[in-house]
Amino acid sequence: MGRPKKSVKMPRLRVRKKPIQRVRGMHDVLPPEMNYWNYLEEIVREVVSVFSFQKIETPILEQTELFQRGTGESTDIVQKEMFSFVDKGGNNLSLRPEGTPGIVRAYTENGLHVLPQPVKLYYIGPMFRRERPQSGRQREFHQLNIEVLGNAKPVLDAEVIFIAWKILEKLGLSKFEIQVNSVGCRLCRGQYKEMLVDFLSSNKQRLCVDCKRRLKNNPLRVLDCKNRRCQDVINDAPQIIDYLCEECHDHFKDVLEYLDESKIPYNLNSKLVRGLDYYTKTAFEIWPVEGGEASSQNSLGGGGRYDDLVEILGGRETPAVGMALGIERVIDILKKEEGKGKDKLITVPKSDVMLIQLGDMARKRALGLINLLIDNKISVIECLQKDSIRSQLKSASGAGVKCALILGQKEVLDKSILIRDMESGIQEVLSQDNIISELKKRLRK
Ligand code: AMP
């Protein structure tokens, strides 16, 4: 029995439902925007490969304890901002709010400490923090991170800062400022903290509500409070730089000398402490400059040394240094710095050949021919969904290909194909057996 010829109207499957929207604070990155991401990733790869960094991926989901111990119980991230849940097996899990604890876990768990040190790693991926969404602040955002584990030399701190600076500079950005400080080590920071707490306690009534709380949990964080009244207090507070032990002092001096020698512009900022507990010695941030003024609001990136973190997370004593750049924020200023780098944005990948197919028989042969071209390293594009030769030729000239291969029913039957030079419009008939040699000749491959 033959199939019914008449087209039958399909019944609607379901009642139209309300579309589901994305989760608050999360964003879709659509294809035109992706050009910026690709451009940035290309520059990242170019710069980090000079320093022999290797790419690593770690899971987005980790045990909550990793961040409680690593990022630190007293930080805003762990206290207020993690997406944590108990899974069906009763495990306490969290979406990673930052990358470094996961890398440190992977370093110890996979025995990377037995490799020649330092181990230099980079990764680009999503981070999750339940902050109040606003301009430049998302609940899912992406970071480029670099980490150097297994060496304490100050030149590596300078290398990490250099990489952050070079990436931004290569992107054509100029409106940013690098802020650098040393937060000392366990020894000297302890002593400094006592002095700071004494000073802040005697000025407690002038501090904001948050800083009164910070004074108890994380007094160093008072130093980067944005509140005007707190700023007045902080201006007179003791500075950590005056309390550094000899080793931390010498290390910091060396880092600054490397930066000076490399002509990397920076600003010494004695109030910079960063939000995380684990930093030791060098700490730095990259601030955007707007209206001539650098501001910590919407910082582009930051990092520093974390010599104790591997041990805190159960590994061996391993000095380390790293940094993170916020991809969305970097792209935001890339767009604002009018025109810079735009000419370099890759829009459509350039191809040499377009395969044009006419009729059912040709369309069925098309994927086989595309397979042959791919296997012979000829970059080809197609528009299999299109029917007319006019619209396919229009796509071919829009894509800027050199040649079009045109396959119709006749060509399928006699195993030939038309080759059209897109510039001159001249067409020739070829045997399908000669496609590759002819294309290689024309494309000089
Ligand atoms: P942090 O780990 O807090 O030092 O963050 C490093 C960088 O990640 C920042 O300088 C920002 O560029 C970016 N970043 C941090 N939090 C967010 C957020 N909520 N939304 C967008 N970017 C962020």
3-state secondary structure string across 201-254:
HCCHHHCCHHHHHHHHHCHHHHHHCCCHHHHHHHHCCCCHHHHCCHHHHHHHHH
Q: State which ligand 1 atom lies nearest to the alpha carbon of 285.
A: 10
Q: State which ligand 1 atom lies nearest to the alpha carbon of 327.
A: 12
> Is 20 part of a structural domain of the chain?
no
Q: What share of the chain in percent tops pLDDT 70?
A: 96
Choose which residue among 23, 137, 178, 277 to substitute to test ligand 1 binding: the one with the highest number of ligand atoms within 8 A of its C-beta: 137
Non-local (6+) Cβ contacts of 111 within 8 A are none
Residue located nearest, by CA, to atom 2 of ligand 1: 98
> Is 262 part of a structural domain of the chain?
yes
Residue 144 Cα to ligand 1 middle (Å) = 10
| Of the residues 322, 343, 364, the one at which a domain ends | 343
Q: For residues 415 and 431, is the Cβ–Cβ distance under 8 A?
A: yes
Is residue 408 domain-shared with residue 314, that is, in the same domain?
A: no
pLDDT tens sequence across 89-134: 999 999 999 999 999 999 999 999 999 999 999 999 999 999 999 9
Q: What share of the chain in percent tops pLDDT 90?
A: 80
Over residues 146-155, mean pLDDT = 98
Is residue 366 domain-shared with residue 309, that is, in the same domain?
A: no
Which two structure tokens, joined as six digits, stand for 444? Answer: 């000089």
| Of the residues 343, 362, 397, the one at which a domain ends | 343
Is residue 66 domain-shared with residue 105, that is, in the same domain?
A: yes
Residue 298 Cα to ligand 1 middle (Å) = 8
Write the single-letter amino acid at 404.
Answer: A
Sign of CA dihedral 365, 370, 373, 378: positive
Is residue 331 domain-shared with residue 391, that is, in the same domain?
A: no
**Rounded Cα gap, residues 435 and 419, in angstroms:** 9
Q: State which ligand 1 atom lies nearest to the alpha carbon of 131.
A: 19
Fill in the DSSP letter of residue 343: G
Band of pLDDT at residue 350, cut at 50, 70 and 90: confident
Is residue 312 domain-shared with residue 368, that is, in the same domain?
A: no
Q: State which ligand 1 atom lies nearest to the alpha carbon of 301.
A: 10
Q: What is the pLDDT of residue 347?
A: 57
Number of domains in the chain: 2
SS3 of 353-412: the string is EEEEECCHHHHHHHHHHHHHHHHCCCCEEECCCCCCHHHHHHHHHHHCCCEEEEECHHHH
The answer, yes or no, to whether residue 338 has pLDDT greater than 90, is no
Length of the chain: 445
Is residue 161 domain-shared with residue 180, that is, in the same domain?
A: yes
> Is 199 part of a structural domain of the chain?
no
Is residue 270 domain-shared with residue 126, that is, in the same domain?
A: yes
> Is 395 part of a structural domain of the chain?
yes
Choose which residue among 124, 167, 298, 299 to substitute to test ligand 1 binding: the one with the highest number of ligand atoms within 8 A of its C-beta: 299
Choose which residue among 78, 143, 282 to substitute to test ligand 1 binding: the one with the highest number of ligand atoms within 8 A of its C-beta: 143
> Is 154 part of a structural domain of the chain?
yes
Is residue 384 domain-shared with residue 278, that is, in the same domain?
A: no
Give the range among 91-100, 119-128, 217-226, 308-317 with minimum mean pLDDT. 217-226
> Is 429 part of a structural domain of the chain?
yes
Residue located nearest, by CA, to atom 11 of ligand 1: 326
Strands 416-421 and 119-128, by their bridges, are unpaired
Band of pLDDT at residue 2, cut at 50, 70 and 90: low
Which two structure tokens, joined as six digits, stand for 236? Answer: 């007179």
User: How many C-beta atoms lie closer than 10 Å to residue 381's C-beta?
Assistant: 17
| Of the residues 321, 343, 365, the one at which a domain ends | 343
Is residue 263 domain-shared with residue 123, that is, in the same domain?
A: yes
> Is 14 part of a structural domain of the chain?
no
Q: What is the pLDDT of residue 16?
A: 82
Residue 255 Cα to ligand 1 middle (Å) = 24
Q: What is the pLDDT of residue 346?
A: 54
pLDDT tens sequence across 387-445: 999 999 999 998 899 999 999 999 999 999 999 999 999 999 999 999 999 999 999 87
Residue 137 Cα to ligand 1 middle (Å) = 8
| 213-240 b/e (C-beta count within 10 Å ≥ 16 → b) | ebbeebbbbbbbbebeebeebbeebeeb
Residue 126 belongs to a domain with what CATH number? 3.30.930.10
Q: For residues 264 and 162, is the Cβ–Cβ distance under 8 A?
A: yes
The answer, yes or no, to whether residue 63 has pLDDT greater than 50, is yes
Choose which residue among 78, 277, 328 to substitute to test ligand 1 binding: the one with the highest number of ligand atoms within 8 A of its C-beta: 328
pLDDT tens sequence across 164-193: 999 999 999 999 999 999 999 989 988 999
Is residue 413 domain-shared with residue 436, that is, in the same domain?
A: yes
Q: For residues 282 and 255, is the Cβ–Cβ distance under 8 A?
A: yes
Q: Answer whether 137 contacts ligand 1 (Cβ < 6 A).
A: yes
Which one has a higher pLDDT value, 76 or 150? 150
> Is 137 part of a structural domain of the chain?
yes
The answer, yes or no, to whether residue 1 has pLDDT greater than 50, is no
Residue located nearest, by CA, to atom 20 of ligand 1: 137
Peptide bond into 265 cis (omega under 30): no
Q: Answer whether 125 contacts ligand 1 (Cβ < 6 A).
A: no
Residue located nearest, by CA, to atom 16 of ligand 1: 137
Strands 301-305 and 320-326, by their bridges, are antiparallel
Could you give the dihedral angle defined by the CA atoms of residues 150, 156, 157 and 162, in that order, rounded to the nearest 10 degrees? -140
Q: State which ligand 1 atom lies nearest to the alpha carbon of 129.
A: 19
Band of pLDDT at residue 45, cut at 50, 70 and 90: very high
pLDDT tens sequence across 250-302: 999 999 999 999 999 999 999 898 877 789 999 999 999 988 899 888 999 99
Is residue 369 domain-shared with residue 320, that is, in the same domain?
A: no
Containing structural domain, residue 421: 353-444
Residue 72 zone, left/alpha/beta (φ > 0; ψ -120 to 50; rest): left
Residue 386 Cα to ligand 1 middle (Å) = 44
Residue 111 Cα to ligand 1 middle (Å) = 29
Residue 148 Cα to ligand 1 middle (Å) = 20
Over residues 13-35, mean pLDDT = 90
Is residue 36 domain-shared with residue 157, that is, in the same domain?
A: yes
Residue 439 belongs to a domain with what CATH number? 3.40.50.800
